[in-house]
A and B are shown apart, each in its own frame.
Chain A
């Protein structure tokens, strides 16, 4: 356990282990995404009220769920880098921010596309949508704040504090549809009690959620590897890698 954690702090080891994880996780992710999209778009029944437009759920919900979970990944990495000064946690935090921002944007964009035919408007300032927009700004804030500092150690600290403060937004987003009157509907997938989505529509959705988690992991690892190479560009193991040796 402790030796594993110690190894995690070593850039060449992390680079190697992430490479071997990606070798099987990346094809698996693409396969799951393709299967989920085909299943969701072609082999599920239409909704009794929305017809076919509900199918955007297969992108919208997974993107939103993983955008929220990804924020905790970023904030946890930030906390670890603050407390234990672990460089690799700082790399993970920096790598998670643009991925989370992209997922949040995808959720907002698909929501707007769905909102026009369903609600009659692209955008409404209700609690769910506004707090989700705030999440996008928090992610973008971490990306921009990191680049704003010349001193990368100070940048890491500032970003870690920003992402920790932002964690309060996650339960607000999650519960916003229950706490306040909003236009956005409450969750259809319920942890307690029966889900209010038909099983024939639910299973491809669960597959897509898993696929998006895997996609997040892949993007995070790829970003971390790129960041590692950049940070360690002058060290022996990167030079050796560049010359073509493993």
Chain B
């Protein structure tokens, strides 16, 4: 290769490698802040700030949803299978919200460790299948990612 072109090639590689390294370090430094939500285990361990707006994400515990008879308020618990956070929320929930499904609640953690949510979003997982397949999996005792229950 012509020496001038070789020099330009090295310059291009230098630009790509060093800008990637610089941005990689920035992203690595900010890794905690890039997460959209706290997992329940971190909230239970006291790593999430109390009295400040945060998001908590996890699975809605089976049988934990209690709806109020008078208004739209609802309470449920979020889990990541190593910690549980109770959530209270008043408002309309997304269609995909349900027990055993992922959800992300944003709100303020009170002194009793309860998240007073102002917004609840449903988190969809990566499993896509027709209803018949889901039913068949259910009957043979597997969950929707093909893992035995």
**Contact with B36, one of A117, A127, A186 (Cβ below 8 angstroms):** A127
Within 8 A of A (CB), among B2-27: 5, 8-9, 11-12, 15-16, 19-20, 23-24, 27
The residue in A46, A119, A164, A198 that gathers the most chain B C-beta atoms within 10 A of its C-beta is A119
> Which residues of A are found within 8 Å of B23, using beta-carbon distances?
168-169, 172
Q: Is the CB of A200 within 8 A of B124?
A: no
**Nearest chain B CB to A94's CB is how many angstroms away?**
18
Q: How large is the interface on A (under 10, 10 to 19, 20 to 34, 35 or more residues)?
A: 35 or more
**Nearest chain B CB to A136's CB is how many angstroms away?**
17
The residue in A47, A48, A117, A196 that gathers the most chain B C-beta atoms within 10 A of its C-beta is A48
Number of interface residues of B (CB under 8 A): 46
Q: Is the CB of B8 within 8 A of A82?
A: yes
Q: How far is the CA of A172 from the CA of B144 in the complex (A)?
A: 28
Q: How far is the CA of A124 from the CA of B134 in the complex (A)?
A: 29
Q: How far is the CA of A168 from the CA of B96 in the complex (A)?
A: 34
Q: Is the CB of A45 within 8 A of B132?
A: yes
Contact with B along A138-162 (1 / 0, CB 8 A): 0000000000000000000000010
Within 8 A of B (CB), among A76-129: 79, 82-84, 117-121, 124-127
**Contact with B124, one of A50, A167, A180, A194 (Cβ below 8 angstroms):** A50
A49, CB-defined interface residue at 8 Å: yes
**Contact with B94, one of A119, A124, A164 (Cβ below 8 angstroms):** A119
**Contact with A180, one of B35, B104, B127 (Cβ below 8 angstroms):** B35
The residue in B128, B131, B146 that gathers the most chain A C-beta atoms within 10 A of its C-beta is B128
Q: Is the CB of A167 within 8 A of B130?
A: no
* Residues of A that sit less than 8 Å from B by CB: 45-50, 54, 57, 79, 82-84, 117-121, 124-127, 161, 164-165, 167-169, 172, 179-183, 185-188, 194, 196-198, 200-201
